[in-house]
Chains A and B, each alone.
Chain A
Amino acid sequence: MSYDICIVGSGAGASPVAYTLAKAGAKVLVLEKGPWLTEKEFFKDELAISLRDSYNPKLADEQHVIEEEYEDDSGKSYWQGEATSDSGWTFWNGTVVGGSSNFMSGYFHRLKPVDFRLKSTFGEIKGANIADWPISYDELEPYYAMVDKHVGVSGRVVDHPHQEPRSSDFEYPPLAEHAISNWIDKAADKIGYHTMPVPRAVLSQPAMGRRSCEYSGYCSSYGCASGAKGSGRAALLNHAVASGNCTIKPESKVYKIGTDDKGEISGIHYYDKQGRKQKAVAKYYVIACQAIETSRLLLSSKGKKFPNGLANNQGQVGKNIVFSGGGTGRGDFFFDDLNKQQVNELKQVGPFINRAIQDWYEIDDPTFSGVNKNSKAKGGTIDFLFYQNPISRAMGTEWDENENLVWGEQLKQNLKTEFTTYKTLRFEVFNDWLPNDNCFVSLDPDVTDKWGDPVAKVRIGAHQQDIEVGAYIAKKAEKLLQAMGATNVSSSVSSAPPSNLQGGGCRFGNDINTSVLNKYCQAHEVDNLFVTDGSFMPTGGSVPYTYTIYANAFRVADHIKQRWQQS
C-alpha cells in the first residue's frame, strides 16, 4: 500500500511527526529497526540496561568505526579509525520503538535565545564552524509549549537570571524532590549561586492514558514501567496508532532511499523481520534515525542524480556533527560526619534531585582562559544526580590500593564499607560542542554490518574551547560541593564525546552551499524529504538535546501537515 508519510526511525525526532500527521488523518508508516517493547517489558534490571546492553545491537552485528587523533614519532598528527566491536565503545542508544527517548533522563532544559545566534553574539572562533540558526527562539517557543503539553513536562518556573521567555507555565506540577535538593539550595545561597528546579519529561500526575511516576529511584537510563517518562513511544506513538492512521513496523532495517533518474524518491528500501527486502512508498519521507545513522543512510542512498548520496550534491551531509562538551564531577558525604537526620535524608531513594545551575550559561569573566571576546563567551549548565546501580558500585572493591586482588574477609569488609559508609553526589556539565572540520560522518570503506552495508565512520575531533569552558564550569560546580561539606571533591572534563548526545550532520540554513536542509528541515535538493532528528542543529546549545528535538519535530510536523492538506 502507499502511504502519505513514511518515517524512518521512531524516537524523539520521528514520533511528533507520526503523532501530528496521523491525528490530522494522514496515513503514516513508521519503520523502526528495533523491536516494539512496552511498559510490561521494562524492568529495573542492571544487567539488561547496563552490563549486557540488551536494548542495542551486538557490536559484532552492527557497529561504528571511530576515528581519533594520534601523533607519530615525529610529532605529526594523524587520524586512525577503530571499529567499536574491537573497542567495546558503543554509539547505540536504544534500538527499540521510541528509540533512545525510552532511556533518557528527561532533563528538559530549553535552549535560550542566545543559542540561536551564537555566531552573531560571540563572533567567529578559529577552527570552529559556528553558524546562526535560520529561526529564532520565538519561532520555536510555541513548540516547546506543545512538548510540555503532549509529551508531559513537570516543573515550576522560578525567577532566575537566565530564565528564558515562556508563553505558559509548566503543564504538570514538579515531581517530588530529594532532601539533598534543599542542601544544594542552601549551599548555593551561601556562595551566591542561583539554583533552579530541573523540568523533567516525567509525569507527576496521571494523564493522557499514562500513569504518573512511581518513584522507584531508577529513572535515568532505564525504560519506564509506569508510562510516566515521556518517551516518543509512550507519549506520542501510542496515540498515533490509536488514531487508526499509523502503522509501526518494528524490526525493519532501512538501508537505502531509492531515487529515479529524475532525482525523485522512488521508495524506501528495508529488510523486514525475516530479512526479506521490502520497499515502502509515500508522498512525503521523513528521516530520523539519530544524527550519525541519518547521515549514514543519506550517504548510502546513492542514485543517478545523487552520486555522493541523497541530498549531498554540495558535500554537506555528515559534516559538522556535534556532541555535547563538558564532563562530570563528584563529592562524597561520609555518614560519620553527619547527624542521624542528615544520614536518613541522604539515604532516601526515589524522589528526584532536580537541581541545575545556569549562572554561567554565558560567561562574562576576564579570567576565563578560552577564546574570550570582551570577557564574554558561551558557557553551560550544571546538573546534579545520584548513581544507583549496585553491581557497578561493587566493581572495584576487589582491588586494594596497590592494585592487587583481594578476596575473603577483606572483600566482604570492602563491600560493606563501600555501600554503607557514604554517598556520592555527582554533577554533570553540559556546554556547546563546537562544530569543526574534524567532527563528521562518512561511510567506512571496509567495515560492514550484518546485512553487508557499510557502517558509519565517525571522526570525533573536539575544539579546545569546549574543554576550556567545561573546565571553567566544573570548577564552579566543585565549589558548590565544597560549600555543601562534601569531601573528595573532583571533576573530569575531556574531549571524548558522550555517544548519546548527537546532533548535526544535516544542518538547516538558508544557504544551499553550507546546509543540507532549509528552515523547515526539508532537504534543499529533494522536495519531499525531511530530516527531523537532531541532525538539523548547526549548534547544539548547552543542555541535553531531546527537548529541542521534540519541539523542532513538532514545528516541522506542522509544516508537513499544511503541505499535505494543501496537496
Chain B
Amino acid sequence: MELIKSFFDKNYRTPLWFKKKKIKERKSNEQQNINRTAQQNGRRNLLKSAAGLASFAVLPLPVLSQSLAFKNQKKIIQSEPWLTINNVLDHLLPASDTGPSAMDIHALDYLYNIMYVQPTEQDEKDFILKGVGWLNGYAHSQLKKPFIALSFDEKETILRGISGSRAGENWLSTLIGYIFEAMLAPPSYGGNPEGIGWKWLEHQAGFPLPKAGGRYYELPGQAKIKFSEQAEHKTKLQEITVTAFQPNRLALIEKGGKA
C-alpha cells in the first residue's frame, strides 16, 4: 500500500468514509424531516463515477486512553497537533464583529470530543491528524516555518495552497463540517455554549435537548455496535482496493423542473 506523504501526493484518492459522510450530509440536507427519505440521485452517480477507491495508507495513532485524555485535555491542547488544529480553526472562523469565532463556539473542544469521545471512524481520525503533519510540511517547504508561526496573510496563502489539492480540500472541508456541528449541535456535545451559534443565526432549537448521558452514543443499544464496527473496519480496508465498478446508469427520465 502506498504511503501518502503530502496533500499533493498523486496517490491520494478520496476514501470511502469521506464519500459516505458526504452522502449522509446531503441526504440529511435534502431529505430531512420528511416522509420521503433519501432519494439519492446526483450524489450516488457521483460516487459511482469516482475512480478506484482507497489505497489510503493508515499510520498508527498514538494510543491514548479516554480517561487519560480527559485528565490531560487542557495540557494536550497546548501541544501539537492541537496547537496547529486550533490555529487552523481560528483562521477558518476568525474572531471579528460579524459573528462568533471558532473560539466562541468552542470548536476545539468539540473537535477534541470528535477525536476521543464520539465514535468517529478511525480512518477519519487518522486523516485529521495526518493532515496536520502535511500542513506543517507544506508550510515549511514554502515559508520555512510551522503553520502556527505564520502571519494571517501567510496562513491564508498556505491554506489556499493546500485547498488546491483533493486531499487538502477534503481535510479543510472535514474541519469546516465540524465547525458547523460545533456551532449548531446541542451544547452537551461540547460546542455551541449557551446556544451561541443558534442565537447568531436566529435559529430556534427544538426541545428537549440531550444532556450528558443522553447523547447519541450513550443511548441504549449503542455501545456494542460501536465496538463491532471498529473490528469490521479493519477487514474492510483490505477489501476496497479493487477498481470501482463504473457502469453508465440507464438514463431514466428525470422530469419535473429545473435543478
Contact = CB atoms under 8 A, between A and B. Distances in A.
B176 A41 contact: no
Q: How large is the interface on A (under 10, 10 to 19, 20 to 34, 35 or more residues)?
A: 35 or more
Most A CB contacts (10 A, CB to CB) among B33, B93, B98 go to B33
B253 A46 contact: no
Given A70-B248, A251-B221, A419-B203, A43 B29 contact: no
B255 A48 contact: no
Given A107-B35, A396-B29, A388 B206 contact: yes
B250 A408 contact: no
Interface stretch (A127-135, A183-191, A220-228): A220-228
Contacts of A171: none
Nearest to B201: A419
Interface string A69-103: 11110000100101001111110010010000000
Contacts of B127: none
A491 B257 contact: yes
A362 interface: no
A259 interface: no
B210 A45 contact: yes
A483 to B, nearest CB: 16
A450 B216 contact: no
Interface string B84-107: 000000011110101100000000
Nearest to B36: A498
A43 B181 contact: no
Interface stretch (A53-61, A139-147, A203-211, A282-290): A53-61
B24 A88 contact: yes
A103 B93 CA distance: 35
Nearest to A89: B40
Contacts of B35: 104-105, 107, 220, 383, 428, 430, 498, 500-501, 544
B40 A328 contact: no
Contact of A405 (B24, B176, B198, B240): B176
Given A72-B247, A393-B29, A407-B159, A51 B24 contact: yes
A34 B28 CA distance: 23
A44 B19 contact: no
Interface stretch (A160-168, A311-319, A464-472): A464-472
B173 interface: yes
A36 interface: yes
Nearest to A84: B20
A411 B176 contact: yes
Contact of B220 (A35, A383, A391): A35
B33 A450 contact: no
Interface string B32-74: 1111111111001001000000000000000000000000000
A89 B207 CA distance: 28
A225 B208 CA distance: 7
A220 B38 CA distance: 14
Contact of B180 (A218, A391, A496): A391
A51 B228 contact: no
A107 B34 CA distance: 10
Interface in A466-500: 467-468, 470-471, 474-475, 478, 489-500
A104 B169 CA distance: 37
A229 B173 CA distance: 37
A416 interface: yes
Contact of B32 (A37, A389, A428, A491): A389
Contacts of A221: 32-34
Contacts of B184: 46, 390-391, 394
B65 to A, nearest CB: 23
Contacts, number: 287
B168 to A, nearest CB: 9
A254 B207 CA distance: 35
B147 to A, nearest CB: 15
Contacts of A36: 220
Nearest to A464: B253
Contacts of B225: 57-58, 61
A36 to B, nearest CB: 7
Nearest to A391: B184
Contacts of B259: 490, 492
Nearest to B20: A88
Contacts of A41: 214, 219-220
A450 B156 CA distance: 47
B256 A493 contact: yes
Most A CB contacts (10 A, CB to CB) among B23, B177, B216 go to B216
Contacts of A342: none
Contact of A450 (B29, B31, B177, B228): B228
B128 interface: no
B9 interface: no
Interface in A378-395: 383, 385-395
B108 interface: no
A51 B27 CA distance: 9
B222 interface: yes
Nearest to B225: A58
Interface string B219-259: 11110010011001100100010000101111011111111
Interface in B156-200: 156, 159, 163, 169, 172-173, 176-177, 180-181, 183-186, 189, 197-198, 200
Contacts of B221: 34-35, 37, 96, 251
Contact of B232 (A60, A328, A387, A471): A60
A230 to B, nearest CB: 15
B25 interface: yes
Contacts of B26: 395
Contacts of A349: 204
A412 B31 CA distance: 25
Contacts of A301: none
Nearest to B240: A86
B205 interface: yes
Contacts of B38: 89-90, 498-499
B77 interface: no
Contact of B25 (A60, A328, A395): A395
A497 B39 contact: yes
B241 to A, nearest CB: 13
Contacts of B29: 389, 392-393, 395-396
Contacts of B250: 69-71, 77
Contact of A87 (B47, B220, B236): B47
A474 B257 contact: yes
A364 interface: no
A196 B169 CA distance: 48
Interface in A434-489: 450, 462, 464, 467-468, 470-471, 474-475, 478, 489
8 contacts: A43-B209, A45-B215, A46-B186, A347-B202, A385-B34, A391-B185, A409-B96, A544-B35
Interface of B: 16, 19-21, 23-26, 28-41, 44, 47, 91-94, 96, 98-99, 156, 159, 163, 169, 172-173, 176-177, 180-181, 183-186, 189, 197-198, 200-210, 214-217, 219-222, 225, 228-229, 232-233, 236, 240, 245, 247-250, 252-259
Give 10 closest A-B pairs by Cβ, nearest first: A44-B206, A35-B221, A218-B206, A70-B247, A48-B216, A88-B20, A419-B201, A471-B255, A493-B256, A498-B36
Given A57-B225, A60-B233, A217-B204, 11 more contacts: A34-B221, A44-B205, A45-B209, A69-B250, A105-B33, A327-B36, A349-B204, A387-B34, A395-B180, A478-B257, A494-B41
